[in-house]
């Protein structure tokens, strides 16, 4: 009788174990899928200034008075469009170069502006540095200055001068720094030629809100 009871107990325990195993395997598989999915759709956040330096890929068709789309590839290899990146925010486009003293002088103010108004504002720098070492120069400058907003640099796909040319339909980029401000709907609101201060930029941004 004891032998029969022991055998029955062993069978019951075996069935319980078999029923649990698939659940555990399913949970493990689900966790793996979720982890894989997360890594695909959520690229890592920029770790430092160098990760904010992105390669120009394409510029959209010029349209008078409207934000012209720009496409770039970020540090994680993801393709990003300006219209998506800046959706619902005021856009501050700053054309500049590392060799330009007035550009360099206003950069600290733009960094502060980008941080203090991050909720409502997207700042994008467009570097007009040229040559094979353009990205290296901009990356070093951004690292030294602690820049934490996107800066588009020339690539084998697109020279940033093509972006400046596209934007001449709104305002000729004949001198740098030149800053263009657009409202939340992508309408051009103001052109600022020459270096300026954080307070001046802030007032211009507020007018565009």
Residues, the chain: 209
**Cα-only R_g, the chain:** 26
**Chain centre to alpha carbon of residue 92:** 14
Q: What is the DSSP string of 38-88?
A: HHHHSPPPP-SGGGGEEEEEEE----TTBPPPEEEE-TTS-EEEHHHHTTT
So what's the pLDDT on residue 38?
A: 34
The per-residue pLDDT for 75 is 84
Contact partners, residue 18, CB within 8 Å, separation at least 6: none
- Is residue 76 within 8 Å of 44, Cβ to Cβ? yes
DSSP secondary structure string, 132-172?
TTHHHHHHHHHHHHT--SEEEE--SS--HHHHHHHGGGTS-
The 8-class DSSP code of residue 133 comes to T
The helix/strand/coil state of 20 is helix
pLDDT at 194: 96
What is the per-residue pLDDT across 88-103, written as a single tens digit (0 to 9) for each? 999 999 999 999 999 9
Kindly state the DSSP code that residue 187 receives in the 8-state scheme. B
State how far the Cα of 58 lies from the Cα of 75, in Å rounded to an integer.
16
Distance CA 6, CA 124 (A): 74
Top-level class of domain 49-208:
alpha beta
d(CA 190, CA 185): 14
* Residue 58: closest CA among 139, 157, 153, 129: 157
Q: Look at residue 46 in the predicted model and tell me its pLDDT.
A: 62
Q: What is the pLDDT of residue 31?
A: 44
Q: What is the per-residue pLDDT for 44?
A: 53
Q: What is the pTM of this model?
A: 0.78
For residue 194, give the nearest of 208, 169, 175 by alpha carbon.
175
- Pull the structure tokens for residue 134: 């353009």
Mark the ranges of the chain whose per-residue pLDDT is less than 70. 1-47
pLDDT of residue 24: 45
Give the pLDDT confidence score for residue 45 in this predicted structure: 59
The residues spanned by each domain of the chain are 1-42, 49-208
């Amino acid at each position: 009788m004891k032998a029969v009871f022991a055998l029955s107990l062993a069978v019951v325990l075996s069935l319980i174990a078999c029923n649990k195993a698939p659940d555990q395997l399913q949970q493990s598989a689900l966790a793996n899928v979720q982890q894989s999915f997360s890594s695909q759709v959520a690229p890592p956040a920029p770790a430092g200034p160098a990760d904010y330096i992105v390669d120009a890929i394409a510029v959209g068709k010029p349209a008078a008075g409207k934000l012209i789309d720009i496409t770039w590839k970020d540090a994680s290899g993801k393709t990003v469009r300006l219209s998506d990146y800046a959706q619902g925010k005021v856009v501050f486009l700053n054309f500049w170069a590392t060799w330009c003293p007035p550009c360099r002088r206003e950069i600290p103010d733009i960094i502060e502006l980008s941080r203090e108004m991050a909720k409502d504002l997207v700042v994008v720098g467009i570097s007009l540095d040229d040559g094979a070492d353009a990205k290296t120069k901009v990356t070093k400058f951004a690292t030294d200055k602690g820049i934490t907003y996107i800066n588009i640099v020339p690539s084998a796909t697109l020279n940033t001068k093509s972006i400046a040319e596209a934007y001449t339909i709104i305002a000729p980029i004949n001198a740098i720094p030149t800053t263009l401000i657009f409202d939340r709907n992508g309408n051009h609101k103001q052109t600022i030629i020459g270096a300026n201060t954080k307070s001046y930029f802030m007032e211009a941004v507020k007018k565009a809100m």
